[in-house]
Amino acid sequence: MAESIRVFWHPTNGTGSFNFNWPSINANSVVLVTASEYNPSGPPDADGSAQRFLGDATIRVNNIVPHGPPSDPNHGVTFQLEVDWGSPLNVCTDITVLGTTDSSQVVYVEGAISPGH
């Protein structure tokens, strides 16, 4: 069953790596991360958290990397957050664990696709 957590980050802009440790995530987890601006002093969302909104800034989440034992003692996810705005913005992420990948469902593809194909 999918499980989500909402994380409010310090004001940020530019591109940087972010990490959130959470026992629900392990090295074989399938994780999605979404991001938006939020207003810490505005009226709360229905769940009581700060209000998220669609602003003029472009906010992207890239390179989502779940981690955990045996290669990392911490359960969590590291991702790149890109905030294209001239000054730091309040950013909220929703981190969702969809499940885990079973080792019998892993496929390795040999070769590479050349650029432009």
Q: Would you give per-residue pLDDT tens digits along the chain (117 residues)?
A: 899 999 999 999 999 999 999 999 999 999 999 999 999 988 888 888 889 999 999 999 999 999 999 889 999 999 999 999 999 999 999 999 998 887 667 777 787 566 655
What's the pTM? Answer: 0.85
Provide the residue ranges of all domains of the chain, joining segments of one domain with +: 3-105
| Whole-number pLDDT of residue 116 | 59
Rounded CA-CA distance 24/43 in Å is: 30
Amino acid 43: pLDDT: 85
Angle at 17 between CA 14 and CA 20, to 5 degrees: 130
pLDDT at 110: 80
Q: Identify the pLDDT of residue 107.
A: 73
Domain 3-105 = CATH 2.60.40:
yes
